[in-house]
Each structure stands twice: as structure tokens, then as C-alpha cells.
Amino acid sequence: MRSPTTRFLAVAVVTAIAVVGILRLRLNAAADQDSHPSVAGPESGRVPLKLELPQAVFEGTEKDIRIPNLRKLDKSIRPPFLVPVGTTNAALGKPVVASDAEPIIGEIDLITDGDKEATDGSYVELAPFLQHVTIDLESPHEIFAVVVWHFHKEPRAYLDVVLQTAGDPDFVTNVTTLFNNDFDNSAGLGIGTDMHYAETYKGELIDAKGVKARYVRLYSNGNSMNDLNHYVEVEVYGRPAQETDD
């Protein structure tokens, strides 16, 4: 029969092991949140990004997209993407310029006018082959996500899609590439490792990881249907960057 002292020591040991286990689980959870900011909990000061999606419209039969490195079309609801409190669409109504100064259809400012519907008059059509558009946020921002709608009347895929940010309009200083699906460097910006994807009403959400920049530039080089380039809307979710003393 165990003495009271022996029983007390046994209980103390078991309790200590349980406490250590709980602390280890909490540390592991905290580390996981730090390495995956898009899935952090509410205690991190992040909230789900509120995206107002356009109506889902596919005209006619879905077409078979035959291009390499194509991601499977995902028709499920996008899981929540968490961003810091105070994050807004910093691109709304902001100035846009394009490598094609005279679009075939539409006006350049449609890209940031807030209209994401798949209707005539809601998109701009740029000239064939490699083109780019640049959004000026008008001040440095911390950018957490960029959402792009090229053209979502049908599930076509756009080629050589490259997303970059920079501190100047010429893209010389602090250039960061956030997305690149150019698998053969045909755009001349380096070989990308991201996959091609079919356009849908959900848009393509790209994690910007809090990069600080004023300018956002998107490239494309035609699509799986033709050589033309299109944009319905581009949203840049962020908040003004805080100035720091040198």
C-alpha cells in the first residue's frame, strides 16, 4: 500500500507532465499561426477578408482548356482569408495606366471602378500579346492580398500572368514578384512556378504577404482562346504603410 507521500509525488509528476503537454501544444499552435498568417486566429488581430463577388455567369458550354501546368477548376467556396483589421481595397478608384494606351474595348479606369460583373461595358480589352497594367495606390501601402478578374464569362485561362509591386512607377526600386505562371520565360521576367488557372467569378486571390509598395503591376500575354488581354477588375487589399524613422 502506497504512503500519502508516495501518492502525492505521483500526482505531482502526472500534473507536471500534463502542464508541459499543454504548453507544448500552445507553442506549436502559435508557431503555426506565425508561419501561416492567412489562417491565424482572431486573437492575432486578423479578420476574414470580405469580398463582394460578382454573379457567377458561364455563357454556353464550359470549354476544354488545353494549356500546360493548369490547375484543376475549383468550384467550391473559397476558404476564409484573414487580413489585419483596417484592411480595405486600396485600389478602388485609383489611377491606372497600361502598356496599350488605346484599348480595343473599354477604358483603362474600368480596372479599378468597382464593377466586377461579367457584362459588356464592365471590362477592358487590350492589344494582343504581352501587355501590362499598373495601379498607383498614391501612397505606400502594406498589401495583404490582390484579387484579379480578367474575364469570367467563360473559364478561359490567361497566359504569362505576372504580378509585381514596386516603390516607383518604372519598377526599379523594391520590385517584388508575388505571382508568376510564365513557365518558359516568354514574358522575359523569369520563369515562374505558379500554375495557370481558369477564370471564374471568384477571381484569383493572391497572397501579398504584407509587402510594402505604392505601385501594383500585372502582366498577361493573351489567353487560351485568343491573343487578347482583358481585365474586369483588380482589387488591392491593404492599409497605408506606417512611416518609420531611419
Q: What does the pLDDT profile of the chain (246 residues) look like in tens digits?
A: 445 444 444 444 434 444 444 444 344 434 333 333 444 455 568 999 999 999 998 766 667 898 999 999 888 999 999 999 999 999 999 999 999 999 999 999 999 999 999 999 999 999 999 999 999 999 999 999 999 999 999 889 999 999 999 999 999 999 999 999 999 999 999 999 999 999 999 999 999 999 999 999 999 999 999 999 999 999 999 999 986 544
Q: Based on the domain organization, do 96 and 215 belong to the same domain? A: yes
Q: Quick one: 73 and 152 in the same domain? A: yes
149: burial class by Cβ within 10 Å (0-12, 13-18, 19+)? buried
Residue 218 lies in a domain: yes
- Mark whether 125 and 21 lie in a shared domain: no
The residues facing 142 across adjacent strands are 212, 239
Total number of domains constituting the chain: 2
Domain housing 191? 54-240
39 secondary structure, DSSP code:
G
Co-location of 232 and 168 in the same domain: yes
Q: Which residue has the cell 502526472?
A: 14
Q: What is the three-class DSSP state of 70?
A: strand
The residues, any chain, with a CB within 8 Å of residue 122's CB and separated by 6 or more, are 110, 115, 116, 232
What CATH number corresponds to the domain at position 168?
A: 2.60.120.260
User: Do both 84 and 15 map to the same domain?
Assistant: no
Same-domain status, 105 and 191: yes
pTM, 2 dp? 0.81
Based on the domain organization, do 123 and 193 belong to the same domain?
A: yes
Same domain, 108 and 184: yes
Specify whether 27 is located in the same domain as 128. no
111, 217 Cβ separation under 8 angstroms = no
Is residue 68 domain-resident? yes
In a domain, 47, yes or no: no
Q: Are 144 and 83 in contact (CB under 8 A)?
A: yes
160 with 222, same domain?
Answer: yes
Q: Confirm if 54 and 201 have CB atoms less than 8 A apart.
A: yes
In a domain, 116, yes or no: yes
Q: Is residue 49 part of a domain?
A: no
* Residue 206 falls inside a structural domain: yes
40 is a domain residue: no
109 domain-assigned? yes
pLDDT of 240 reads 97
Q: Which residue has the cell 477548376?
A: 73
- Do both 74 and 190 map to the same domain? yes
25 and 119 co-located in one domain: no
Taking phi over 0 as left and psi of -120 to 50 as alpha, with beta for the rest, 144 belongs to alpha
